[in-house]
Structure 1
Amino acid sequence: MTSKKVIVVFGATGAQGGSVARAILENKKFAVRALTRDVTRPKALELRDLGAEVVKGDLNDKASIEAAFQGAYGAFVVTNFWDHLSKEKEVCQGKMVADAAKRLGLKHVVYSGLENVKRLSGGKLEVPHFDGKGEVEEYFWSIGVPMTSVRLAAYFENFLTLWKPAKASDGDYYTLALPMGDIPMDGISVADVGGVVSSIFNSPEEFFGKAVGLSAEALTVQQYADVLSKSLGKEVRDAKITPEAYEKLGFPAAEEMANMCRFYRMRPDRDVKLTHRLNPKVKSFSQFLAENKGALKGI
């Protein structure tokens, strides 16, 4: 019996990496080498029980990445800007991984990328957690690594935390503050990324050298509010906040989030039809909320 090709999955105990590792294990075409900083974490042990090889790997440790790539066919690479809040560090980590992939001859890398907004906007907008990933995308392709970038839409999960509806001060209703105006915003659950990535690994020739924009659906802020109203049984309205007002809200990254929404207003390429083809089980916002009702209790 021929042994399965190995795919190294970065951040395997995190949201994106965990989804990808599980989907590839379910697919059964490839073996999974799950990369994590702590191999004793419960989520790491769960993956081992599901059949993954779990190894220690750290994006700040080049030797650990090169060791993980030994004998591997491919890799799913995700970096986390929010770990350190440094675009420069994210770019440095991404380029190190790209160099290792090139040197060790990986046949297919799927990278969790995003657009370089600063470059695309001629310097008018900066969204560091996008821009660094955009630079890394460009670097992967420039050195000839066979790479597919998956560019996620806004996470539905953000509606459970950062974008949770807030009680209005002047009435018995809630508001949803997202500076999108009437322009639809693409969204997807991080949990559905794995099925997409697994399908991309199954069809490398179709996706080499491409950026694939992922979206379950695109809704206006009022439409998101309507779905939340139905799910919660409480009225949620669009706060109709502008990017200018949003960036003055004062929380860390408020300006960055405002610029992200300014970029989203330009309708970057996210392909709903292709996303559903690659993962027919991808959830709508309504289905996502039905599965996560407990997270919004107390509203």
Structure 2
Amino acid sequence: MACKKLITVLGATGAQGGSVVRALLQDSSFAVRAVTRDVSKPAAVKLKEAGAEVVAADMDDAKSLKEAFSGAYGAFVVTNFFDHFSKEKEVAQGKRIADLCKQLGLQHVVFSGLENVHKLTGGKLEVLHFDGKGEVEEYFRQIAVPMTSVRLAFYFENFLSVCRPQKSQDGKTYQLVLPMGDIPMDGISVADLGPIVRSVLLNPSEYIGKDIGLSADKLTIKRYAEIMSKVIGKTIVDSKIPPEVYEKLGFPGADEMANMFRFYHMRPDRSMEVTRRLNPDLKTFEQFMVSKKEAFTDL
């Protein structure tokens, strides 16, 4: 029996990393080393019970990271701007990881990246949680680490939390408050990422050196609202809020999120065809909503 390729997965108890761990454990080609800051948390214990090697490491601690990556064939790397809201810290963490991957000779790194919007727009837009990942993508390439970047679209899961339908003033209808106008917005369930990463790791010659824009559906906010209305039986509409109003809503990061939607207006490269080829079981938005219908019973 051939030796399994060991894949180190960062953020293993998070949404992205957890999806990747579960998908890799289903494939006999891979062994999984799941990395988390706290190996005693219930999510980490479940991963161990499922067959992963679970280890503790911190992205700010090079020694613990080196132990987590040592002996691995490849890795899935995700950084989290929203842990600290610092682009500089995210870039430092990403570069630290890239240097270790280079030093240890990893043969394939799948990085959860995004575009460097500030650079692409000549400084007109700044989206910190995109820009830092874009800089890390560039650094991986600069030091010649064999890397594939997977760039996720807007998470469908956001409709369950930060972008949940909001009750209108009439008290009878609900609004989706996303400043996209009539421009379609790509979306995907983060739970569907794991099989995509697995497919990429199984086909290194095809995907090393590539940036892969992921999308499961490309819909206007009006269409997202119509699908939600159909599934949960409430009247949901597009608020038609413009970015100029959205950025003044007063919640932390509102201005940066408005710039993210402005970047979405530019229709960044996200391919439904490529994404579905990597994960044939990809959920459309309607399929996702049907699976999460119970989360909206309080509306």
* TM interval, short-chain normalised: over 0.9
Letter of the structure 1 residue corresponding to residue 263 of structure 2: F
Following TM superposition, by how much is the alpha carbon of 1:171 offset from its aligned partner in structure 2, in angstroms?
5.0
2:169 alignment partner in structure 1:
169
In the aligned structure 1, how far is the partner of 2:11 from the partner of 2:28?
20
Runs of 4+ off more than 4 Å: none
Letter of the structure 1 residue corresponding to residue 18 of structure 2: G
1:267 alignment partner in structure 2:
267
Which blocks of at least 5 consecutive residues in structure 1 are unaligned?
none
Letter of the structure 1 residue corresponding to residue 215 of structure 2: S
In the aligned structure 2, how far is the partner of 1:274 from the partner of 1:177?
29
The aligned length equals 299
Q: Secondary structure at the match of 1:132?
A: helix
2:258 alignment partner in structure 1:
258
In the aligned structure 2, how far is the partner of 1:43 from the partner of 1:268?
34
1:248 alignment partner in structure 2:
248
Q: Secondary structure at the match of 1:175?
A: strand
Q: Secondary structure at the match of 2:178?
A: coil
**TM-score of the superposed pair, with normalisation by structure 1:** 0.99
In the aligned structure 2, how far is the partner of 1:246 from the partner of 1:99?
39
In the aligned structure 2, how far is the partner of 1:224 from the partner of 1:123?
31
2:218 alignment partner in structure 1:
218
2:39 alignment partner in structure 1:
39
In the aligned structure 2, how far is the partner of 1:86 from the partner of 1:295?
32
**TM-score of the superposed pair, with normalisation by structure 2:** 0.99
In the aligned structure 1, how far is the partner of 2:76 from the partner of 2:48?
17
2:184 alignment partner in structure 1:
184
Q: Percent identity?
A: 63
Q: Secondary structure at the match of 1:150?
A: strand
2:58 alignment partner in structure 1:
58
In the aligned structure 1, how far is the partner of 2:129 from the partner of 2:198?
24
Following TM superposition, by how much is the alpha carbon of 1:40 offset from its aligned partner in structure 2, in angstroms?
1.1
Letter of the structure 2 residue corresponding to residue 176 of structure 1: L
In the aligned structure 2, how far is the partner of 1:60 from the partner of 1:130?
20
In the aligned structure 2, how far is the partner of 1:47 from the partner of 1:267?
37
Asked if 1:16 corresponds to 2:16, the answer is yes
2:155 alignment partner in structure 1:
155
In the aligned structure 1, how far is the partner of 2:96 from the partner of 2:226?
44
Asked if 1:291 corresponds to 2:291, the answer is yes
Which blocks of at least 5 consecutive residues in structure 2 are unaligned?
none
In the aligned structure 2, how far is the partner of 1:129 from the partner of 1:294?
31
In the aligned structure 1, how far is the partner of 2:237 from the partner of 2:71?
53
Could you say what the CA RMSD is over the residues aligned between the two structures, in angstroms?
0.8
1:69 alignment partner in structure 2:
69
In the aligned structure 1, how far is the partner of 2:222 from the partner of 2:103?
49
Letter of the structure 2 residue corresponding to residue 209 of structure 1: G
Q: Secondary structure at the match of 2:183?
A: coil
